Chains A and B, each alone.
Chain A
């Protein structure tokens, strides 16, 4: 699929990706290629990957592959597309006003929003913070309902 970014299907690939991205933000997007929102997200990512390339790397993870299920469980991914941020193999949290700070759920409305989010993560990481606040106004953040243990 040419219109997608580097898609990872194996756990080992994901591991190496996490481990080898040093001093750069790693953006891992979990989703399904057939999902329209995921495609929308991919579109935005594709446009901005070059611009953030100096301080971020972007990769997609296909949730349908079996190998990656561990990660899906580990990261508590219940809604797709979900984006998880890493920095130097440490997971970065972001407070967007939603219930789940560990990941970004949904797509970005604009390319600039994505760049702002990644920049915020990078700045926080360089200062040594594991959690950062989202720079976007609440109307730009996609809302979702987080279910507790499938309740």
Chain B
């Protein structure tokens, strides 16, 4: 058992020395025996390191959150307002204390969550809590959120006593529990009832905002299909194809056979489009019929009449569908896909796949070359040039006799461009020197000054 920390507020090092799985601290590598982490539900041999792993931290937070929610919703509620516990409801009120690994049953308590509260306030629970937090690294500052302080407990006990005394006096409080436990049922029934009410309200109201999203208030496709199977004799039903019908707006090019048969003149509340809005396809969907049907059964709330009206309409639609030759559900291609196109598309697909494979191969090759390599840009340019030359488009142009490669000279300090310039400069001087040497120097005989002066004097 690990050592208990008497001071919960002190952040202490997790390396305790009385752990069963002693760590071999050999150069930081810890090899321990396997232990089970209750939080992650994982066997690990990481020893004390495990609690700092992010996965463990996540698991721990969700773990504690779950317990905390139970604690808050149930136990804390009853802590503030103690209520007597009926035996039949005892089964609902059990609590598993995760820290102590202990299931708290309420069979013999007189108050709701009585045993749980008692346990959570007890010293044993505190002990278990501390050891859990130490072992799984929950943070010792959160301890109070998982237990009941003694002051709270005493308050609760007093309230209980009061209740007991009152109960002994009169049984008026017995009825309190009734609504408590029927909350779920009541709420459900409320929901169900309100569902229909909402539907009716919408139906009767004049809904002009046809494009607004209206919650699904009627049958889903499945149900409608079931209803469609019942066939009734119907004349062509009428829909108002004006601005209200998003359907009309959405399907410009006409469905294969459907709209041809229909005239839209019936002004109907427009929640129909709300269902057909998701229908972008050109296929006729059954629930269009429903929508229309809803409008048609204006004011009627009974399901049967609705169904009948649905059936009236859907008969047509189903016949239209049969003419169409299959739909999405049967897996047929959409009508804009003519057979010929389909073949073409298949071919293209196959080609595309082949191309993909080959291009992938090429890509693999070219992508291997590091773009940062020396002279990469130059190489790319040169490759293009060579290809063009191969094709004969680009006439090979000589670089000239003076081209020099990029070279860093031996006794040169500075960039390589400088080296080339330097060299060219040196070259020029060389050439100049050469040319000067090569100039023929006219040799003249030596004439002495006396001779010259004599000549000039003469």
Contact = CB atoms under 8 A, between A and B. Distances in A.
Interface of A: 11-12, 15, 18-20, 22-23, 70, 73-76, 86-93, 100, 102, 124-130, 146, 148-149
A90 B372 contact: no
Contacts of A129: 374
A125 B410 CA distance: 20
Nearest to A130: B374
Interface string B361-377: 00000000110111110
B411 A22 contact: no
Contacts of A22: 379, 382-383, 386
Give the 5 A-B CB pairs with smallest separation, nearest first: A88-B375, A128-B372, A90-B375, A125-B374, A76-B410
Given A15-B403, A89-B405, A90-B405, A126 B373 contact: yes
A127 B372 contact: yes
A15 B401 CA distance: 9
A12 B401 CA distance: 7
Interface in B383-407: 383, 386, 398-399, 401, 403-407
Given A19-B399, A22-B383, A74-B423, A91 B411 contact: no
Given A74-B409, A128-B370, 19 more contacts: A12-B401, A15-B403, A22-B382, A22-B383, A22-B386, A23-B369, A73-B423, A88-B378, A89-B406, A90-B375, A90-B378, A91-B405, A91-B407, A91-B408, A124-B374, A126-B373, A127-B370, A128-B374, A129-B374
Contacts of B426: 73
A88 B376 contact: yes
Given A19-B399, A73-B423, A102 B374 contact: no
A92 B382 contact: no
A10 B382 CA distance: 21
Given A91-B407, A102-B407, A102-B408, A19 B382 contact: yes
B374 to A, nearest CB: 4
Contacts of A92: 374
